Structure 1
Amino acid sequence: MSDLNAKQLENAYAFLNHLNALEWGPLADLMASNFKHQYFPGTIVPPDGKETRGKEEFMGVLQHNFIHVFDKTTFGEPLDVVHGVNKVVFHLKSDGMSKSGKKYNNEYMVTFHFDGEKIIKLNEFVDSKYSSAFFAALRAEAST
């Protein structure tokens, strides 16, 4: 494995570690200025209605969710890792709780795309059935 490939894998793990620790500055530092985030599958409608967002929008969504929606959510060690040229793919699960006490244990396939050591794109595949039901229940709670 080349030094660059090793650094890319290290940065993918660092992304999860900084997210779990809510370390916003170091997390943002891993991303290129032209970073893009995309939710998948296409049938899921993100709460903000945007399928693709830039670095600042993505950081805003993360901060909002992890500060205002969830009491605590952590991503576990990847269950599977695929590492190729300028890409790292993690299969992982989250363990969390909403502020209202609703469990949040989702499953993900996350693909990190790199340009050098920086993450330029993050594709996030979620369990769309679980996510849709979870966020619909939270919206219903908030409206009562």
Structure 2
Amino acid sequence: MAVELNHTIVAAHDKEESARFLADLLGLDVEPPYGPFIPVQVPNGVTLDFMDTSGTITPQHYAFLVSEDDFDAIFARIRAAGLAYWADPQHSRRGEINHNDGGRGAYFDDPNGHRLEILTRPYGSGGDRPS
């Protein structure tokens, strides 16, 4: 049996702003609203459906595997936006990127506190373990 992640709901205080934030940084499109959701589809077919909530948002982690060229473009947009970024998920290495598994990676937060990550090599694909 083949199992694939199709979509996930991303809680937001302003779903349009949050969807636009992610789409702009990753170079993706915001799709037309679908029911209560503002979708952003990534090229592998997974959709992040942003939905408004007035309650407390529990931060989630979303990692995006990107090419080296895409990393350069996305990282340039992160820096141009003046966003804080870290080399690690604990946010202890501010202003750095990592080189885990022979690739590059960076963590940054969205407006709702969700932890976003871009990486060029899947963890475990090279010799270096994530730091």
Determine which structure has the larger helix proportion and give its number.
1
TM-score, shorter chain, exceeding 0.5? no
**What TM-score do you get using the length of structure 1 for normalisation?**
0.31
**What TM-score do you get using the length of structure 2 for normalisation?**
0.33
Determine which structure has the larger strand proportion and give its number.
1
